[in-house]
Amino acid sequence: MILPLVVDTYKSMPELIPVLSKKEIERSINDLASRISDDYQGRDLVLIGILKGAFIFMADLLRQLSVAAKVDLLRFSSYGAGTSSSGRIRLTKNLETDINGSDVLIVEDIVDTGLTLAYLIDYVKTFHPGSVKVCSLINKHENRKQEVTIDYYCHDIEEGFLVGYGLDYDEHYRNLPDIYHLKI
């Protein structure tokens, strides 16, 4: 049982309402990792984590996989300091691995409008991988603007701005082991 927290580092005193506990997250990642391990046996798997939000999720997912996987990271900036998408996407860290012919699995923290994901699928495809699939910790439905296929995800969330387990609000709260709904 996790208790709601009130964090006093902001003047507005945002409230954190528990949404997913670290136990629930761990269980869903274990299930996801066994599905991915089954699907990628004997393949040339490359996980591409999307910084910064996905770094904790990717580290936990990777350690549960029973198949070999290479790892690389991409970073796009799309959000500013607020809680809604700016719609502007800029590449700020590129791939360092040759993914030509490889089976790429994009690892995202959360898909919200879908704009970032649609952009980055197209971007990854320009490197001619053998296949591209997407895995996200959270599939959030509230603000979807672009239809995107999320091949694997751990949790469906209808609405709200989430923080914790790598997810931030203005670079805060990434360290929380559980996931909370941030109410400002």
Residues annotated catalytic, as ranges: 112
Binding marks (x or -) toward Mg ion, 36..55, rule CB under 5 A? --------------x--x--
User: How many residues lie near Mg ion (CB under 5 A)?
Assistant: 3
Residue 53 or 114 with smaller CB distance to Mg ion: 53
Cis check: omega of the bond before 140, within 30 degrees of 0 = no
Q: Cβ–Cβ contacts within 10 Å for residue 99, how many?
A: 20
Sequence-ordered list of residues with C-beta below 8 angstroms from that of 99, at least 6 positions apart, any chain:
46, 48, 72, 124, 127, 128, 129
Interface stretch with ligand IMP, choices 13-21, 98-106, 110-118, 120-128 (CB under 6 A): 110-118
Rounded Cα distance between 140 and 29, Å, is 17
Site string for ligand IMP, 8-47 (x = CB under 6 A): ----------------------------------------
Give the residues across from 107 on adjacent strands. Answer: 49, 135
Residue 60 interacts with which of ligand IMP, Mg ion, none, CB < 5 to 8 Å by class: none
Q: Which does 114 bind (CB under 5 to 8 A by kind): ligand IMP, Mg ion, none?
A: ligand IMP
Taking the CA atoms of residue 154, residue 158, residue 164 and residue 167 in that order, the dihedral angle to the nearest 10 degrees is: 80
Binding site for ligand IMP (CB under 6 A): 50, 53, 78-79, 85, 108-117, 140, 161-162, 167
